[in-house]
Structure 1
């Protein structure tokens, strides 16, 4: 994938090939959504693209991600893309399709409560892609979580609440 240099001597992905592969109606959707999210004076902070199966919602998302990265590249130090998908199988299928970089470690699929454990990795990358699914991050029926989640939350709260460990006599 070709790249161009930014003023900070880092490379931004070249979005022309990505946008060039879109059909006219897909590109029109990308441009409209991008304008509504980033350029309009009454810009929206959310947008839903919905259509029939097989018409290219993933390609539209890839185009939108491309335009957003190009738009934000010289304005912010780090770009985090959060992808919420209906299930883990679809997320695994789409994650690499949405990857507009040459990086192999583009994605982080995890439970939302474990995100603090990954923050040090996110600081290293200019572009981060974080994927969550309802089954792993938003299931409110089970309030126990995993052992790793409970330990992470304990240590996060420990720093805030300064837990005191009582020693047995």
Structure 2
């Protein structure tokens, strides 16, 4: 039975949908509700709201592991009847295989991926599934006829034995589903990945690097081409704290960056981020010495969600708010009225600034389950 959204979840869905449909120019929204408060329900109803009026709608659901993906991907489609949900949920488990999926009259399509299978860093490249390599072999033959014949014996198989024949059969059966647009896109991705002239560069890589790495580069190009030819209409990042590093300009994960930031002049897709701990809320002294600054992580997150202007404004207002709190703590009770009023004004301004970007719901603080929560601080 589908869990109905509670009022606080409905409010979050409304804010998230507005942000992802353009209320936030960057089309990013963070749901940072406390663990157990139903972030998946919010994601489900946001997806439902966004897909409702679309002719076709593609969703990437990305999480840190297969266990979480298997648990939540069906929950995201609970707003559909069972037959429609089964039709909408793809069995494809990596981005590069999307173009080989048979087309159908489906309005909604949801793919569940993990970083290890679809968004590996350059130094972690590997050969992938046999069926991926079989597809790559067929694509190479169409783009650069005869190139694979110059590979070392057994190179594309990469150790596959009994399953290789079945992988080739599956690839040959599905290759006709692949559009010419995607084949051209894969050719461009190979040229970008290996350089020009691509045919010679690919052959040199095959002969001069370990098979897993060079095949991994071909798989990376495959995923780039898939993203370019079949862009998602919504990306849901679950446990987004696991992807903090992707926001860094130094991070070596071009596939994830393409998904987060778009490619060249193309706008990135709307991003719905789910995380109860999107940044470190505090740091121990040893962490501070090591250079970990929770407040800096917060402002980096705000910049990612809303842009540099929003970050600058948030930093200035948080600084004023903090200064006022320190002042209030030092003043006699009778002299606190004006700074408390100023703090309230700044608080409302921060809420106005950040509500289009994020939502955070917590359980009322209490030491014992049956005790009422303490009264709120009057600021």
Provide the residue aligned with 2:118 in structure 1.
Answer: 137
Aligned residues: 143
Q: Which has the higher strand share?
A: 1
Q: 1:124 to 1:156 in 2, by over 3 A?
A: farther
* 1:6 matched residue in structure 2: none
Q: What pairs up with 1:7-156 in 2 under 5 angstroms?
A: 21-40=4-23, 42-72=24-54, 76=55, 78-99=56-77, 100-102=79-81, 103=84, 104-109=86-91, 110-118=93-101, 120-121=102-103, 123-140=104-121, 141-156=124-139
Q: TM-score, normalised by structure 2?
A: 0.35
Distance 1:152-1:48 versus aligned 2 partners, 3 A rule: farther
Deviation at 1:130, TM superposition (A): 0.8
| Structure ranking higher on relative contact order (CA contacts 8 Å, 6+ apart) | 2
Q: Is there any run of 5+ residues in structure 2 with no aligned partner, and where?
A: 151-379
Deviation at 1:145, TM superposition (A): 1.4
> TM-score, length-normalised on structure 1?
0.73
Bigger Cα displacement from structure 2, 156-165 vs 24-33: 156-165
Q: In terms of mean alpha carbon deviation, does 60-69 or 48-57 score higher?
A: 48-57
Considering fraction of residues, name the structure with more helix.
2
- Larger deviation: 46-55 or 88-97? 46-55
- The structure whose Rg is larger is 2
Q: Which moved more, 1:79-88 or 1:54-63?
A: 79-88
CA pair 101-157 structure 1, distance change in 2 beyond 3 A: farther
Q: Per-residue deviation at 1:47? A: 2.4
Closer/same/farther in 2, CA of residues 45 and 161 from structure 1, 3 Å limit: farther
